[in-house]
Amino acid sequence: MDIHIMALASEPSGWRAARVSLGGSLAFAALYAYFELLHTSGSVSLLVLGAAAGLSGVAELLPKNRRRSSCG
């Protein structure tokens, strides 16, 4: 069980992981815009997922002195 906790609380990996998260955030925003503008049926869940992915990407880009350990 400790292995899973360590994987969740590992040191951020910088731009490599942030690039994927930020790209996913843009993809979710684009999907929302497409469905909202063309079909007037945009789902709020796409915005929530996009915001979560964006925040994850920003967290990966924080400088080392601003990162906090979730384990103590």
Angle at 12 between CA 67 and CA 28, to 5 degrees: 105
* Per-residue pLDDT tens digits for 13-55: 778 878 999 999 999 999 999 998 988 887 889 899 999 999 9
Residue 39 near residue 32 (C-beta atoms within 8 A): no
Whether pLDDT at 2 is above 60: no
Which residues, at least 6 apart from 26, have a Cβ–Cβ distance to it below 8 Å? 50
